[in-house]
Structure 1
């Protein structure tokens, strides 16, 4: 009997998370990122990441509209909740309020002449995937009244877009042959970080936070530790490779 009830609850959760109907529109977050692109200098480190992330969000938005996700409402909600984490960090930095530790290295070094564009892009991706994605999954589960397992397909599809984009970023932003003295240490530095590992870690963190949702103190401690650890990786990725 208990097993039957558990199966029924699971099926109900999946129906709630996959019901048709209105969803959070992606357009407003895209509009904000486009505004940042127009306002910031192209060499600004946060602007470098913003251009990358804008491309990702636009591609995901197009895929949602084209029916590329089985559950467009879940995909759109996850995409928007994910983007809002970044936008909130930008707003905090702009108004002098504390931003999450994972984003602080990028805001601090955004105008450092010794940091390469590829470093800025991957440091932003590290902060957004390593920290924000896990919290966005939990946010989405609360909005849709479902569990992380119900979002796994959407999570994987978004991750696939990010992996393809990371490959493009490395190709486009890696210094050319005329800057081999920079390219060698840069290759070594960035070889220490993997988007696949960051994505796997985000999924594990999301599931862990969901299990801790009834224990707010432990959940807060877990989130703080995650934030700090991702921030340390970001600081490593932004190691200046040339002298000002």
Structure 2
């Protein structure tokens, strides 16, 4: 299996769709994070199109670099090549252990946000202009917070116990957003 990479945000979406379809066919949990990531990518694309970002061109470049890190890790794993440690762990858990959906999402979010985002940001910026990304990062946080309610509703449909756990933990409003802070 070759390592597919995207050049545009539209190509990112097409490749994510392919992974989701493969995951459905294989009944693989690898598609869980991909489905969430696709929704975020669609909202970023929409934000670029409607001028929500300070620099739409830079944001698309960041999005593509960021997505390509995930895509590379996915295709490496599928080809039985070594991906980064955090992605390798996330993918192995999805294939060998069926924890709750939230755990799969959190493993993917951990790898992608806590490793890939910093690297992608460094690739799209210089030390002199990295501060210019702050406004667009804040806009991404707004996009993520707007998706939280939708994601929680979807998860509750397949795992109703999540409502109880989120209420019990006091995290029902900021469950996914708090993860990356």
Does the pair score TM above 0.5?
A: yes
**Could you tell me the TM-score, scaled by structure 2's length?**
0.79
Higher-Rg member (1/2): 1
Task: Give the structure 2 partner of residue 41 of structure 1.
Answer: 24
Task: Give the structure 2 partner of residue 229 of structure 1.
Answer: none
**How many aligned residue pairs are there?**
170
- RMSD over aligned Cα, in angstroms? 2.8
The question of 1:55 aligning with 2:39 is answered yes
Matches of 2:72 and 2:168, distance apart in 1:
32
Q: C-alpha displacement at 1:106, in angstroms?
A: 1.9
Matches of 2:166 and 2:92, distance apart in 1:
20
Task: Give the structure 1 partner of residue 145 of structure 2.
Answer: 163
**8 Å Cα contact 1:159/1:199 also seen in 2:** no
Higher relative contact order, chain-length normalized (CA < 8 Å, sep 6+): 1
Deviations, residues 68-94 of structure 1 (Å, cap 9, x unaligned): 222111111111111111011112111
Task: Give the structure 1 partner of residue 105 of structure 2.
Answer: 121
Gaps (5+ residues) in structure 2? 1-6
Deviations, residues 12-47 of structure 1 (Å, cap 9, x unaligned): xxxxxxxxxxxx631111111111122222752220
Matches of 2:110 and 2:153, distance apart in 1:
18
1:1-244 correspondence runs (5 A): 25-41=8-24, 43-112=27-96, 114-142=98-126, 147-174=129-156, 175-176=159-160, 180=161, 195-200=176-181
**Could you tell me the TM-score, scaled by structure 1's length?**
0.60
- Cα 1:130–1:139, aligned 2, differ >3 Å: closer, same or farther? same
Which ranges of 4 or more aligned residues in structure 1 deviate by more than 3 Å? 111-114, 182-189, 193-200
Matches of 2:168 and 2:111, distance apart in 1:
20
Matches of 2:149 and 2:123, distance apart in 1:
28
Matches of 1:112 and 1:64, distance apart in 2:
38
SS in structure 1 of the partner of residue 145 of structure 2: helix
**8 Å Cα contact 2:69/2:116 also seen in 1:** yes
**8 Å Cα contact 2:8/2:64 also seen in 1:** yes
